[in-house]
Amino acid sequence: MIEVKQLSKMFGTTLAVDNIDFTANSGEIFGLLGPNGAGKSTTINCISGLTNATEGSVEINGFNISSDGVKAKQSLGLVPQELALYEDLSAHENLLFWGSAYGLGGEELEQRIQQVLQNVGLENRQKEAVKQFSGGMKRRLNFACAILHKPAALLLDEPTVGVDPQSREHLLSAIEDLKKAGTSVIYTTHYMEEAERLCDKLAIIDQGKIIASGTVDDLRAQVGERDLITLKGHFKNTGESSHFDELNAEVLEFSDDEIRFLIADASNKLTDVLSIVEKNFGKVAHVSIQQANLESLFIKLTGRALRDDA
C-alpha cells in the first residue's frame, strides 16, 4: 500500500506539487493523469525518496520514506521516466546487475530473471546488447529490472511513451498481471486511453494540483452521457452563448480556430450545430465527434487539451 498525504514540493519559487493526497491499495492501480509539467514525475520522485518533499508524508507498506527509508525502499520498485540501463551490457547482464543491487543471487536470481524476461516477452533476446534494442524493448527491459525483487509497491512513470504497439501491449498486460498478484501500482501517463484501461482509481493532475479524482466511471459521470464535438475552422467569438444554449450544449473552449463543446446525442444534432455555427461564428473546415471521456473532462476543467496533438 502506498499512502501520500498532503504532499508538496517547491523548486525555488515553483510549486511543482501542491498539497496532494491519495492512496493505492494492494491489488490496485492508481493513475496520475496529466499533461507535461503537471508534476507527475516530481510526485513519483518524492514517493521513491529520490527527491525530498517540501511538505507532507509518504508511506510504503506502513514505512515512512524519509524516517524509515531503507525498509520503505525494500518493498518498492521504480520504473523512472528516463531509462536506467547499461547499453553495452546484454539484457541478461542488466538484470544480473539490478538483481544483485537488490541483494538477490544464485539460482534464485536466475529463475527470477527468466521469469521477468518472459513477463515482458524478451526471453529470446536476453543475450543481445541493449544498444541494439528498439525503444520499446528498452522500456520493457527497464520495467523487468524494476520488478525483479517482487516489490509490493510499484511506481511507473510514463512507461509507454514512444513505444511501439507491441511493446505497449506487453507492458500493459504485465502491469495487469502484477495487479492481479496484489501489487500496489502508481501509474503516471498523459494518455487517457491507458488511464481508462488500467486504473481502478485516478487523479487528474494539472499545475501540481489534483483537479479531479475517483474511479474512471466517477470521472466520466462529471461530463455525463454526452459527446464532445470539436470544430476546426475560422471563427469569431461574438460572446453570444445563447446560440449554444439553444442546442443545450456546454462550450468548453472557443478560440479563433477551434470550438469544443459537450452535447447529448451529437450525431443527430450535427446539422443544426453546423448551421448555427456557420451563421453566427464563421466557416467550419473540420468536424470531429468523440464519446465524452477523460480528455473531455480535462478540457472542461482546464480549458486546455491534455495532449499537444489532441
Is residue 41 a contact point for Mg ion (CB under 5 A)? Answer: yes
Per CB under 5 A, contacts with Mg ion among 68-107 are: 81
59 vs 203: CA distance, rounded Å: 18
Q: Which is nearer to ligand ADP, 13 or 267 (CB)?
A: 13
Do residues 157 and 41 touch, judged by C-beta distance below 8 A? yes
Nearer to Mg ion (CB atom), residue 78 or residue 266: 78
Binders of ligand ADP among residues 13 to 52 (CB under 6 A) are 14, 16, 34, 36-42
Lookup: cell for 154: 510499484
Distance CA 178, CA 119 (A): 10
Q: Give whichever of 190 and 226 is closer to Mg ion, judged by the CB atom.
A: 190
CB nearer to ligand ADP: give 58 or 95: 58
Applying CB under 6 A, the span of 11-19, 216-224, 233-241, 301-309 interacting with ligand ADP comes to 11-19
Contact 128, 117 (CB under 8 A): no
Residue 9 or 226: the one with the smaller Cβ distance to ligand ADP is 9
Chain residues 212-271 in contact with ligand ADP, contact rule CB under 6 A: none
SS (H, E, C) the chain: CEEEEEEEEEECCEEEEEEEEEEECCCCEEEEECCCCCCHHHHHHHHHCCCCCCEEEEEECCEECCCCHHHHHHCEEEECCCCCCCCCCEHHHHHHHHHHHCCCCHHHHHHHHHHHHHHCCCHHHCCCEHHHCCHHHHHHHHHHHHHCCCCCEEEEECCCCCCCHHHHHHHHHHHHHHHHCCCEEEEEECCHHHHHHHCCEEEEEECCEEEEEECHHHHHHCCCCCEEEEEEEEECCCCCCHHHHHHCCEEEEECCCEEEEEECCHHHHHHHHHHHHHHHCEEEEEEEEEECCHHHHHHHHHCCCCCCCC
Select from 35-43, 108-116, 123-131, 136-144 the region that touches Mg ion (CB under 5 A): 35-43
Return the number of the residue (9 or 112) whose C-beta is nearest ligand ADP.
Answer: 9
Please, what is the minimum distance in Å from the beta carbon of residue 149 to ligand ADP? 25
What's the min distance (Å) between Cβ of 209 and ligand ADP? 11
Least separation in angstroms between CB 187 and ligand ADP: 13
CB of 299 to Mg ion, least distance (A): 21
Which option in ligand ADP, Mg ion, none does residue 37 bind, with CB closer than 5 to 8 A by kind?
Answer: ligand ADP
46 Cα distance to chain centroid? 17
Cβ 283 to Mg ion, closest distance in Å?
39
Number of residues engaging Mg ion in binding (CB under 5 A): 3
- How many residues bind ligand ADP, per CB under 6 A? 11
C-alpha grid cell for residue 13?
519559487
Q: Which of residues 110-149 bind ligand ADP (CB under 6 A)?
A: none
Residues 136-165 that bind Mg ion (CB under 5 A): none
Q: In whole angstroms, give the CA distance from residue 41 to residue 31.
A: 12
38 binds, among Mg ion, ligand ADP, none (CB under 5 to 8 A by kind): ligand ADP
Which of ligand ADP, Mg ion, none binds 74 (CB below 5-8 Å, type-dependent)?
Answer: none
Residue 6 is a binding residue for ligand ADP (CB under 6 A): no
Q: Which residues bind ligand ADP (CB under 6 A)?
A: 11, 14, 16, 34, 36-42
Q: Which residues bind Mg ion (CB under 5 A)?
A: 40-41, 81
